[in-house]
A and B are shown apart, each in its own frame.
Chain A
Amino acid sequence: MTGTIAGTFISALMTGMYNQKVHDSIYTECGHLQIVSKSYLSDEDINSTFSAKETESILKKYQNPDKKAPIQAFSEQTIILSMAQTARGNAGINLTGIIPEEEKKVSDLYTKIIPGTGNYFSSETTLPEVVIGDKLAEILRIKNYRITEKNLSEMLKNGLNKNIATKLNSLKDIRYTTKKELEKAIKSVTSQKEQEKTISLIRKYSTYYEHRAKITFSFTNTAGKLSFLSCHVGGIFKTSNTFFDQSEVFIRQQDIIKETGLTSDKIHKIKILLNKNLSPDNIKNIKPIEQEIQSSLPGLKVLDIRNTSPDAYTYKLMSLPSTFIIMFIIYLVISFGIANTMTMAVMERIKEFGMLRSIGMSKKEIRYMIMAESIILIAIGALIGIFISLIIIIITSHTGINIFGSSSLESFGMSSLIYPDITSGLFIIIVILIGIVSIVTSIFPINKVLKIKLTNANKGVLS
């Protein structure tokens, strides 16, 4: 039972983690399908463009006005490989030109803007506006840490001890450019015990994003010349994927076109979100429409999650096998315990088995009887285990669970808050494993019972 609870819950956690990765990849980063030029696939060159108008007129056939139409929305993108620089840092990024209103229809990124950092292209500014990720903000030192009077009082409201707050006074208004620097400073004024309790709280409330920071982007234009573009940060997003947060920067398409030498009709990518009626998160369901669009656009390449987010696709593929491996290992370990329990249970009743064999029950029937007992024992345990774990999964699938710390999973492109999920495949795995474990765990007690001399068994002697 305990094994089943542990196994089912771990499997649900992993399934939840993988599903979330796939969901985030589709609905935040890549969409269900993408269209690129064939040359862009091999060389992500600024000149590997295709006509937006022609392609979109074809795509519209699959879209409106029918609600059952396969395409829900699409959004065009102009992607420039660029170097982002501030006075304190730089990083290589993809500068993606979008039409914000269209992009909102295919990506929920606008919902992931950290409050207070911007409004996702809705501000009136003199300089072009960009939306960058939290990790890039950290690299470019736009994100830093400062303990101020204001955030100290917020910390106190949220449970910070007054003594610690007093100690933190000496760190007030000092700017720390990295998390490590801040933690080092905190450690210098507090004890080990105080740090354990409060360091995450202090870190949370002392995080500070420079308002409307300026970033300069350098890139090669269509003519092969180096161009520069200075922008204001109009929002900082934080997704479950740290790598995405580090490498993707979004800008209005009209702002980037001017500097690149591209025309407004020339784009690098179209991101497509399919209608939910198709259950498009399952790759099998989108193959027909993918093939249909591909045949309508012979000069271009239609990509699905296998190409646009191979890691998410791999996780999806791994989901069931990894569940099987986890459950197999758990059942393998508990099978030793079950075999021991079964042997004890059978040996305690050796007189009964002796009597049954004496009155004519064959060895085969004894074998089946012990095996059936083993199956019933394990199945009851597994059923109770499944029931309990289902309750836990139902609860945690609503609340989410953060068991790996705040950022360790995000560095692998996964959300740190996991919503456990369960699939029918898990139950099939459990049934198969119950069958295997029942047979395996009954072999030892069966052999033991049948080896005992019948005359001894009748007296309860175990030899």
Chain B
Amino acid sequence: MNIKKEQSKSGESEKVIILKDLYKTYHSSEIEVHALNGINLNFERGEFTAIVGPSGSGKTTLLNLIGGLDSPDKGNIIINDQSIINLKEKDITEFRKRNIGFIFQSYNLLPVLTARENTELVMILQDYTESECKNRTEELLKEVGLEDRMNDRPSKLSGGQQQRVAVARALASKPQFILADEPTANLDSKSTEGLLSIMEKLNKEENITFIFSTHDQRVVKKARRIIKIEDGKVISDEN
């Protein structure tokens, strides 16, 4: 299933993600945690949005639902005019593969692969040709400043460098959306600054929608839209 749509040539704003009345509750042995309590949000193409809020406010849950990694108890998620909540396991996997790039807090790189191979991975899954993989990987790793570390394994890279590889991996197959869960949580100031610059640049150049959860003020300052959530509810949405 490929629900990728042609981008708006005119650059007009376009609602590509619509979240309708989302509820999500986690049940542990004794207590119930209401992670999302009726979230209603829209995201437009090319946004650079930060979702902020204290720990346990529901940021990660929200990103997981948008990315199809989890499903809501109630409500609807419409991406590119199609609801994703009732998709079959196989279709939701295909949806993620074709449309979404993930950046994880702890990078989640494969330690046995080099920076180049980690970046190529998602393209291999999408049956890109060898030369396409090579060109795109080199282009992206150059873009994130790792052209001289392409053949190094993650263990030889710093945290900031590893996260930059993760960004390159997320962008490799040119997804419509990048979802980043606390991408700078494990990085120092310099690395954070570098990573944000790269993300901002790629957002502008490739018109990719970036949504990231964070409580890092350095990230918040760079965001063009800031959504604050607390106790599973949106308490502010500022541009």
Binding site for B on A (CB under 8 A): 351-352, 354-363, 365, 453-455, 458-460
Q: How far is the CA of A458 from the CA of B68 in the complex (A)?
A: 13
Q: How far is the CA of A405 from the CA of B11 in the complex (A)?
A: 90
Contact A351 B106 (CB under 8 A): yes
Contact B126 A360 (CB under 8 A): yes
B89 at the binding interface (Cβ < 8 Å):
yes
CB-defined A-B contacts under 8 Å, sample of 10: A351-B106, A355-B102, A355-B104, A358-B67, A358-B69, A359-B97, A360-B94, A362-B90, A365-B125, A458-B104
Q: How far is the CA of A175 from the CA of B232 in the complex (A)?
A: 101
Contact B64 A360 (CB under 8 A): no
Contact B69 A361 (CB under 8 A): no
Chain B, Cβ-Cβ closest to A365: B125
A-B contact sample (9 more), CB < 8 A, given A357-B93, A359-B101, A360-B98? A352-B110, A358-B67, A358-B69, A359-B102, A360-B94, A360-B125, A458-B69, A458-B104, A459-B106
**Shortest CB–CB separation between residue A9 and chain B, in angstroms?**
34
The 0/1 profile, CB within 8 Å of A marked 1, for residues 101-139 of chain B is 110101011110000000001100110000000000000
- Inside 8 A of B110's CB, which chain A residues have their CB? 352, 355
Count A-B contacts at CB 8 Å. 56
Q: How far is the CA of A100 from the CA of B119 in the complex (A)?
A: 83
- Inside 8 A of A358's CB, which chain B residues have their CB? 67, 69, 96, 102
> Given known contacts A352-B108, A455-B64, is B121 in contact with A359 (CB within 8 Å)?
yes
> Given known contacts A454-B69, A454-B70, A455-B64, is B125 in contact with A359 (CB within 8 Å)?
yes
The 0/1 profile, CB within 8 Å of A marked 1, for residues 60-80 of chain B is 100010010110000000000
Contact A453 B94 (CB under 8 A): no
The 0/1 profile, CB within 8 Å of A marked 1, for residues 40-65 of chain B is 00000000000000000000100010
- Inside 8 A of A354's CB, which chain B residues have their CB? 108
Q: How far is the CA of A352 from the CA of B69 in the complex (A)?
A: 15
Q: How far is the CA of A361 from the CA of B93 in the complex (A)?
A: 7
**Shortest CB–CB separation between residue B126 and chain A, in angstroms?**
7
- Inside 8 A of A355's CB, which chain B residues have their CB? 102, 104, 108-110
- Inside 8 A of A458's CB, which chain B residues have their CB? 69, 102, 104, 108
- Inside 8 A of B60's CB, which chain A residues have their CB? 455
**Shortest CB–CB separation between residue B61 and chain A, in angstroms?**
8
- Inside 8 A of A359's CB, which chain B residues have their CB? 96-97, 101-102, 121-122, 125, 169
Looking at A362, A455, A460, which has the most chain B CB atoms within 10 Å of its CB?
Answer: A455
**Shortest CB–CB separation between residue A367 and chain B, in angstroms?**
13
Q: How far is the CA of A454 from the CA of B101 in the complex (A)?
A: 15
- Inside 8 A of B109's CB, which chain A residues have their CB? 355
Q: How far is the CA of A454 from the CA of B64 in the complex (A)?
A: 9
Q: How far is the CA of A454 from the CA of B169 in the complex (A)?
A: 19
**Shortest CB–CB separation between residue A377 and chain B, in angstroms?**
14
**Shortest CB–CB separation between residue A348 and chain B, in angstroms?**
11
Q: How far is the CA of A460 from the CA of B90 in the complex (A)?
A: 23
**Shortest CB–CB separation between residue A239 and chain B, in angstroms?**
59
> Given known contacts A453-B70, A454-B70, is B108 in contact with A360 (CB within 8 Å)?
no
